[in-house]
Amino acid sequence: FALALFFSPLVFSQLNEDESVQVPPDFGKAGEILVVNVNSPMLTDKKNDKLLETAEEVFGKNYTGKITIYDKKPGSYADTSKYRYMFVVFVEYSPATTIGRDRFPASTDYSFGVIDMVTQKTYRQLRFGAYKKLMGLYVKKLEAMRKKNSG
C-alpha cells in the first residue's frame, strides 16, 4: 500500500497533458465568477501567501474571466448561480522514507482542481509536482473551456 502511494505520482506523470487535466464541461457557460481558494490547512501561512501570490500572477497572465479571491466570511459564496465553481489546491505530503540503502527526502506536491458547488463534483489535475507550472497548465485549460463555452 505504501509503495502504491509512493509511486502514484509517477503513474500520473506518464499521462499526456489532456488526460491529466479534468475541467468541468459546462465551465464558463453562464459567466459565473470563479472563486480562487489556494489556502490549505496543511501549509504554513507563509506558504499559503506564496501560493496566493502565484495564483494572482498565473490568473492575471492566463485567464480573462471573472475571479474573486476566497475569503472566510460565512455565506460569501452561497449564491451558486453567481459562484458555481471554486478553484482549489490539493497538497500531498510525503515524509522522508528509506528503502534499503536509498533514502528519499520528504516532499510536498501540489495539484489543482475545480469544485462544482452545485453538484459537489471535483474536477482535478491528475499530476503532482511544482505548483507554479502545474497551476499555469490548469488555468490555461480552464480559460480554453471558458472561451469555448462562452462564445
Instruction: Write the pLDDT tens digit of every residue in 82-119.
Output: 999 999 999 888 899 999 999 999 888 888 999 999 99
Contacts 24+ apart (CB under 8 A), 52-58: 54/131, 54/132, 54/135, 55/87, 55/135, 58/132, 58/135, 58/136, 58/139
d(CA 143, CA 73): 27
**Does 122 have pLDDT greater than 50?**
yes
Contact (CB, 8 A) for 57 and 36: no
| pLDDT band at residue 19 using 50, 70 and 90 as cut-offs | low
- Give the pLDDT of residue 8: 39
Q: Is the pTM value of this prediction over 0.95? A: no
pLDDT, one tens digit per residue, over 24-73 is: 999 999 999 999 999 888 888 999 999 999 999 999 999 999 999 998 77
- Other CB atoms within a 10 A radius of the CB of residue 145 amount to 20
